[in-house]
């Protein structure tokens, strides 16, 4: 029973929804982190604000009554009128971005194939270019399928340990041109003996998403530092920048799927990058958190157990 209660508390706390448990008298028994962050006045043992149940604060409550032993309780799911619209906007933006990225290499591929039919063209070179375009299309499709892998419990942990520093260096090299266009310098440092029990592909996903997040949002003239070090209780992989930063109130929500700050809505980002990072890190037995403030940069720390 104690294990079940602890498990239930964790499930409630980590829910992506704003969920509250009420007793028969309408007092708060428990509330998810999302609910506490979204609505003021949710404290255990105190009456639940009646205006939230009535929908007077723009909420749409879904109430699920149940009984445990002799106790009657209610689960209350709270959503705002703009939640569905915001989700649809972000989902639509994600679909549009994927479609755009697929159309570009497909158009180039078609052009190359048409050129290969003309007399006097270097067919071998055109075929090689076409092959590279097909590889790019395959990689784009793999990234979309990767999201489904994570949702279905893809294997993250490796049988062996993967050195972290070479992965960080490879990611920085791959993003060099993009970071230069954004005006963001990338630096890599750390312990060359630090290793994590994670599949190399998954480790690269974590590092690349964190680095791309810094490139996208830090702002011109900033520096993003990718680092790894060994410290109790394990291995710390972090990406810290000295750029625009994020408001302190938004830090806890950065890892929610499809969540984007107001400033980042102008970007083509899908709002999935940090959610993927959290999913992968958690599957490897680690934790992830963010530190920073508006105008003072952002640091994302991933702490992994010793492999």
pLDDT, tens digit (0-9, with 9 covering 90-100), for 120-141:
889 999 999 888 888 877 766 7
Average pLDDT over residues 190-211: 91
Q: Give the pLDDT confidence score for residue 264 in this predicted structure.
A: 44
Question: Measured between alpha carbons, how far is 156 from 199 in angstroms, rounded to an integer?
Answer: 6
pLDDT, tens digit (0-9, with 9 covering 90-100), for 141-186:
766 666 566 655 556 777 688 999 999 999 999 999 999 999 999 9
Question: Measured between alpha carbons, how far is 203 from 195 in angstroms, rounded to an integer?
Answer: 10
User: Which of helix, strand or coil describes residue 42?
Assistant: coil
Query: Where do the domains of the chain lie, and which CATH numbers do they carry?
Result: 2-78 (3.30.450.20), 86-151 (1.10.287.130), 162-305 (3.30.565.10)
pLDDT band of residue 54 (cuts 50, 70, 90) is: confident
Average pLDDT over residues 83-103: 59
Q: Give the pLDDT confidence score for residue 233 in this predicted structure.
A: 78
Per the model's pLDDT, the better-predicted residue between 78 and 298 turns out to be 298
Q: Give the pLDDT confidence score for residue 190 in this predicted structure.
A: 94
Using CB atoms within 10 Å of the CB of residue 167, give its burial: 0 to 12 exposed, 13 to 18 middle, 19+ buried: buried
Question: Measured between alpha carbons, how far is 297 from 243 in angstroms, rounded to an integer?
Answer: 4
Using CB atoms within 10 Å of the CB of residue 169, give its burial: 0 to 12 exposed, 13 to 18 middle, 19+ buried: middle
Taking Cα atoms as reference points, which of 167, 29, 18, 165 lies closest to residue 83? 18
The tokens for 40 are 């003021």
Q: Give the pLDDT confidence score for residue 185 in this predicted structure.
A: 95
Question: Measured between alpha carbons, how far is 162 from 196 in angstroms, rounded to an integer?
Answer: 5
H or E element: which one contains 72? strand 71-78
Question: Measured between alpha carbons, how far is 188 from 261 in angstroms, rounded to an integer?
Answer: 27
| CA quadruple 216, 220, 222, 224: dihedral sign | positive
Question: Measured between alpha carbons, how far is 114 from 71 in angstroms, rounded to an integer?
Answer: 73
| CA quadruple 79, 81, 83, 84: dihedral sign | positive
Most confident segment among 7-21, 52-66, 162-176, 252-266? 162-176
Of the ranges 42-56, 62-76, 85-99, 265-279, which one carries the lowest mean pLDDT score?
A: 85-99
Per the model's pLDDT, the better-predicted residue between 107 and 3 turns out to be 107
Q: Give the pLDDT confidence score for residue 298 in this predicted structure.
A: 92
User: Which of helix, strand or coil describes residue 23?
Assistant: coil
């Amino acid at each position: 029973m104690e294990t079940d209660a602890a498990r239930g508390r964790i499930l409630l706390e980590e829910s992506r929804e704003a969920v509250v448990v009420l007793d028969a008298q309408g007092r708060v028994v428990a509330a998810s982190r999302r609910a506490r962050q979204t609505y003021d006045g949710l404290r255990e043992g105190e009456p639940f604000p009646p205006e939230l149940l009535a929908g007077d604060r723009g909420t749409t409550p879904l109430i699920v009554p149940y009984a445990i032993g002799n106790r009657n309780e209610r689960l209350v799911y709270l959503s705002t009128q703009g939640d569905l619209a915001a989700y649809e906007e972000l989902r639509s933006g994600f679909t549009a971005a994927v479609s755009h990225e697929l159309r570009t290499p497909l158009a180039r591929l078609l052009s190359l194939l048409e050129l290969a039919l003309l007399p006097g063209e270097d067919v071998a070179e055109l075929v090689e270019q076409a092959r590279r375009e097909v590889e790019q299309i395959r990689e784009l499709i793999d990234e979309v399928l990767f999201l489904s892998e994570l949702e279905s419990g893809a294997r993250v942990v490796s049988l062996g340990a993967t050195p972290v520093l070479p992965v960080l260096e490879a990611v920085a090299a791959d993003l060099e041109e993009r970071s230069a266009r954004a005006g963001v310098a990338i630096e890599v440092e750390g312990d060359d003996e630090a290793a994590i029990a994670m599949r190399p592909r998954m480790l690269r996903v974590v590092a690349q998403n964190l680095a791309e997040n810094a490139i996208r949002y830090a702002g011109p003239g900033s520096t993003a530092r990718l680092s790894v070090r060994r410290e109790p209780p394990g291995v710390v992989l972090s990406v810290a920048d000295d750029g625009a930063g994020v408001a302190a109130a938004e830090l806890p929500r950065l890892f929610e799927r499809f969540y984007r700050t107001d400033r980042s809505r102008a970007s083509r980002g899908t709002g999935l990058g940090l959610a993927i990072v959290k999913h992968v890190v958690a599957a490897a037995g680690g934790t992830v958190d963010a530190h920073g403030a508006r105008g003072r940069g952002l640091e994302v720390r991933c702490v992994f157990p010793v492999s």
